[in-house]
Amino acid sequence: MGMYCYFGHHKCATGWITNIIKDICKISGWRETVIYDTSVYCKDISLRNYLKREKVDFFSYTNADIAQVDSLQDYKGFHVIRDPRDIVVSAYFSHLHSHTTEDWSELVVHREKLKKMDKDDGLLLEMDFIMPFLDLMEKWNYTNENILEIKMEELTTEPEKVFLNIFQFLGILSTEKATLLDEIIMAINPLNQKGRGTLPFGLPASPIRFSLENIPKEKVFGVLERNAFSRLSGGRKSGEENLSSHYRKGQAGDWKNHFEPQHNKYFSSLYGDLLENLGYE
């Protein structure tokens, strides 16, 4: 098989999506990796050669730069975008309260600025701060036949339907019920990762890892259930807000609750036709 890829952007449910992919890969025996910045992971080697060296089966690129993606070969993937106005609001609350500052010194400074402002001024500052992330979304190639384009709003509204479409597009979905052998393989594979870093010499609980060709549909449903918003948020339903949680609200269109005319005007001055080009206006 070739390589499978997920391409995402900051504040576009990257944590949720990568967790789902990790769980799928864990039971399927596929090697996966997550990269948010190629300069941190790849250093003096190209992204293409890094992934080849690491023998990656499923690659998640959470700040996807089309300039890097264009170097890849023999892959199929999916790309997730979100209404940029919702990204601004989500980033504001996350950067103010919950997002980790590890390896991100700029966020430490930005958070201190946000703490000294009211929300209206903070949203304006946030639009400037996240410009590099929205630029990556704007420069993306939306005509690549190897990449399925997905809007986060569709993905979070009907996760089962959309994820099945994604895995069907990638060619890794089985509609047949898992065989007994499949069940045994999917039970053994997670043990190949369990214990790494804690057992002597970093050995896994089981040295055995089998690679499935496809993931049975019912297993996809199980993974999605374990990663449902209500579970990740501690029991809250989508739309119920917790400002201190990284899974704050889980609701599309929340920008309407926070944007004032001044925010719409400033957003337009910075990003021009971005909303129209992405199909959000």
pLDDT digits (tens, 9 = 90+) for 81-107: 999 999 999 999 999 988 888 888 999
Measuring CA to CA, how many Å separate 217 from each of 24, 116, 188, 222? 11, 49, 19, 9
Dist CA 99 CA 82 (whole Å): 18
Residue 242 confidence class, pLDDT cut points 50, 70, 90: very low
Q: What average pLDDT does the chain have?
A: 88
Domains and CATH numbers, the chain: 3-83+139-232 (3.40.50), 84-137+238-277 (no CATH)
Tens digit of each residue's pLDDT (9 = 90 or more) over 201-237:
555 555 667 788 899 999 999 999 999 876 765 543 5
Structure tokens at 255: 């920008």
CB 79, CB 147: distance < 8 Å: yes
**247 contact partners, CB below 8 Å, separation of at least 6:** 16, 229, 232, 233, 236
Residue 4 confidence class, pLDDT cut points 50, 70, 90: very high
Dist CA 109 CA 116 (whole Å): 11
pTM: 0.88
CB 35, CB 59: distance < 8 Å: yes
- Burial of residue 243, with CB atoms counted within 10 A of its CB: 0-12 exposed, 13-18 middle, 19 or more buried: exposed
Of 156, 36, 22, residue with least CA distance to 107: 36
* Residue 200: pLDDT over 90: no
